[in-house]
Each structure stands twice: as structure tokens, then as C-alpha cells.
Structure 1
Amino acid sequence: MTEAQFKNRTKQYGLRIIRLVEALPDTRSASVIGRQLLRAGTSVGANYRAACRGRSTADTLSKLAIVEEEADETPYWMEMLVEADIVAE
């Protein structure tokens, strides 16, 4: 996958997260989890773009580690929504 393809893919991922969060019910739990999901899911693409502008190999790798952390955190919040019966699987 090229850099441009990955940028587009992570942006589309963020947009899907936004649509999911917007569709959540208006409850306190959904709001709290939704904010966390929105933050993690949309930061994947933003942090990947920052990694592409790394000033050194070490800087790029450090920023890619953040991308990985946020990408790993996103499904956690999705699992919480499902397991708390806020959304159906």
C-alpha cells in the first residue's frame, strides 16, 4: 500500500468512526465512550500524516508507534459499546 493509499484509508476509517459516534444513543455512557472512540479513531489518520512528515527516522518511528496505539485503542472502545449493550454487534 502506498503512502497516499494509507492516508486515504485512515481518513475513511476516521469518517466511519465519526458516523458511528453520531449514531450512538443519547445516553451518558454512550457519550463518554463515544468521545473516547472518536478521539482514538480519528487520531489514527492525523498521526499517520504527522509520521509521514517525521524529521528523522527516530521521529517517524515514534509517531508511527502513536498511530499503532490509537489504532489498537479504537476497537477496545467499540467492544465496550457492544458489551455494554449500547450498540448491536
Structure 2
Amino acid sequence: MKDNVIQTKSYAFASRVVKAYKFLVTEQREFVLSKQLLRSGTSVGANVEEAIAAVSRPGFISKLTIAAKETRETNYWLRLLHDNEYLPTPIFDSLFADVEELGKIITSILVTTKTHHNS
């Protein structure tokens, strides 16, 4: 099976988000914003998986579009947790860089797919 970069990276990111969530709950005693981060951060990979399994190009585009939106939401929760001193800068910087990279990859795949879809 060929290695799928976005599948691999989104799964690894989701795993890191789970670890960050555990840290936020146990060490920082933050329960509300961290749950939002957990939901959106793991949703990126879940929607990538659904896109890969799509039976049509429109289905693929739809699920990948949701994954792109989830990267934006995750970006928001990361910034909010960091700016309110729940998420230490080294953890924030690393997760933020990863979600930004995921967003760029997903957007690139969407642009390419839509271009080929319309031609």
C-alpha cells in the first residue's frame, strides 16, 4: 500500500492532540476549551479518512473541505489556550506548526482535485 502523506500526518496530529488534551485536563485542570481542541483536532484525521473512502469525487471534496475547516477551528482553540496560559509555548508552537501544515496540504489537495474535476 502506498504511503498517504495526509493520512499519516493527520493521524499523527490527532494522536498529539489527544496527548495535549490529557495534559490540559490533568496538569492544567482545563476542561472546556481542551474538549473543543480534542474534538476539532481529531476530526481533521477522521474527515481525511472519510475522504479517502469516498465513492465519488464530490464526496471526496466534501469531506476534505470539512477537514480543512477543522484545521481552522483547531488553530483557533490552540491560540485561545496558549493566549490564556493553559498551553505552554513549546507545545503550542509545535502543534500550531503541524495544524498549519495540515491545512496547507489539504488546501493544495482540494485545489488540485477541483481543478481536475472542472476540466
| Length-normalised TM-score, structure 1 | 0.87
Stretches of structure 2 lacking an aligned partner (at least 5 in a row)? 90-119
Cα distance per residue 1:9-60 (max 9 Å; x no partner):
110000111111111111xxx2110000000001111110100111211111
Distance 1:87 1:80, change over 3 A: same
TM-align CA RMSD: 1.3
Aligned residues between the structures: 85
Structure 1 residues 60-69 or 79-88, which shifts more? 79-88
User: What does residue 82 of structure 2 align with?
Assistant: 82
Regions of 4+ moved over 2 Å: none
Identity level (%): 31
Matched, 1:55 2:55: yes
Q: Give 3-state SS (helix, strand or coil) of 1:54's partner.
A: coil
* 1:18 equivalent in structure 2: 18
Aligned to 1:70: 70
